[in-house]
Structure 1
Amino acid sequence: MNKTKPKYKQIIDAAVVVISDNGYHQAQVSKIAKQAGVADGTIYLYFKNKEDILISMFREKMAVFSESVQPLIEKETKAANKLLKLIQNHFSILAQDPNLAIVTQLELRQSNKEIRLLINEVLKEYLKLVDTILKDGMETGEFAQDLDVRLARQMIFGTIDETVTTWVMNEQKYDLEELAPKVHQLLLKACQS
């Protein structure tokens, strides 16, 4: 299986659309193949089954979150600004891809426990970025010295995540990206001493 082949990405992108439109349980491999413009059998050259498509899709898309925010964070010296960049980037990616927002916020949560555990593994890399920002802020004195990093990370990711879920549930009727500064201010106050 070569992940650099264009058909791999085509199938992943098609899966996002099909799962968003039909829900994970109704998203048949044949529908994904049709959306991707490939034969049903081609999918099995790249993926074992529908669950494998879902996990691979999440892995690929989470990599985009991490890879796109990394250079933005590295440009900033203050932890507060790094946190803002992370929030803005997260909201921006999902605002520009409403199908992906539906899949990450709604469909992934309806999957079985085994899939959720695999998703949590993928998420760990992204959460490490949050930890790094928090630790930087503690070192520079921007954030409280006695900050519980684990709890603060859960609070930050949980707030970002719930903000996106609410936006999806409200049929994306308002500008998600406009909320980034407000969410940032709330989270910043919670992290400062």
Structure 2
Amino acid sequence: MVEKGKKRGPKYDKIIDAAVVVIAQNGYHQAQVSKIAREAGVADGTIYLYFKNKEDLLISLFQKKMGSFIDKTEEQIANKDNAMDKLFTLIDMHFKHLGSDYELAIVTQLELRQTNKALRAQIGEVLKKYLTLVDHILDEGIKSGLFIEELDIRLARQMIFGTLDETVTNWVMKDHKFDLEALAKPLHNLLINGLSK
């Protein structure tokens, strides 16, 4: 996921964190490199020691933040006994991760949607690992008899990810006026039990 030869270190992390703040406050197109450099406390030219351009910075931001989140989620899920608990953990961590960082949520839910086709493809590559994690949970649930045998994994994955994504987007659009983390349990119940009695 991380490009070979790319410079790393404390300044890299500071620039990524500054980019989240500046993009969230100004929007991706208005987020000038000079503003990001100022927020990070580095010279404008320093940004280019770590990133090719603003697009590269946006993708790197998503790779770092999403990659770290996926790794933590995988660790937590590995400790759970069954697919239902694993699915709850995934939902809970998704809401906790974005619910605790409103600026990052603005970037992932709004700003990443306005990008060009090439950027969307790179974002899709990062998301693949997360979607594969969902697939593994569903597959395990089917094999253990917790989920129905005829479950369409692809469709269920789209439904789960789409529901999580839309819930976070709604939270962002409503200026985080409700408790996102508190929705993990009811959402898990809805996904597991559906709409039947």
TM range (shorter): over 0.9
Alignment correspondent of 1:42: 46
Partner of 1:161: 165
2:62 equivalent to 1:58: yes
Contact 2:7 2:49 (C-alpha < 8 Å) held by counterparts: no
Residue 189 (structure 1) shift? 2.3
Residues 8, 50 of structure 2: 8 Å contact kept: no
Partner in structure 2 of residue 183 of structure 1: 187
Determine whether 1:25 maps to 2:25. no
Contact 1:167 1:174 in 2 (8 A): yes
Q: Contact 1:11 / 1:33 at 8 angstroms: preserved in 2? A: yes
Q: Aligned partners of 1:189 and 1:125: how far apart in 2?
A: 26
Instruction: Kindly indicate which of the two structures has a greater share of residues assigned to helix.
Output: 1
Residues 1-193 of structure 1: matches in 2 within 5 Å?
1-190=5-194
Q: Secondary structure at the match of 1:33?
A: helix
* Cα pair 1:55 1:115 within 8 Å, conserved: yes
Aligned length: 190
Deviation at 1:4, TM superposition (A): 3.7
CA distance in 1, matches of 2:161, 2:111: 18
**Cα distance, 1:82 vs structure 2:** 0.3
Q: Which runs of 4+ in 1 moved over 2 A?
A: 1-4
CA distance 1:67–1:3, shift in 2 (3 Å): farther
Instruction: State the percentage of identical aligned residues.
Output: 62
Is the deviation greater in 16-25 or in 66-75? 66-75
TM-score with structure 1 length normalisation?
0.96
Summarize deviations over 1:145-170 as a string: whole Å, max 9, x none: 11111111111000000000000000
Name structure 1 gaps, 5 residues minimum.
none
Asked whether the 8 Å contact 1:11–1:36 carries over to 2, the reply is yes
Relative to 1, partners in 2 of residues 1:48 and 1:159: Cα closer, same or farther, differing over 3 Å? same
Q: Is the 8 A contact 1:3 1:9 kept in 2?
A: no
* C-alpha distance in 2 between matches for 1:112 and 1:18: 20
Unaligned runs of 5+ residues in structure 2 are none
Q: How many angstroms apart in 2 are the aligned matches of 1:11 and 1:17?
A: 10
Instruction: Name the Cα RMSD after superposition.
Output: 1.0
Q: Shift of the alpha carbon at 1:58? A: 0.4
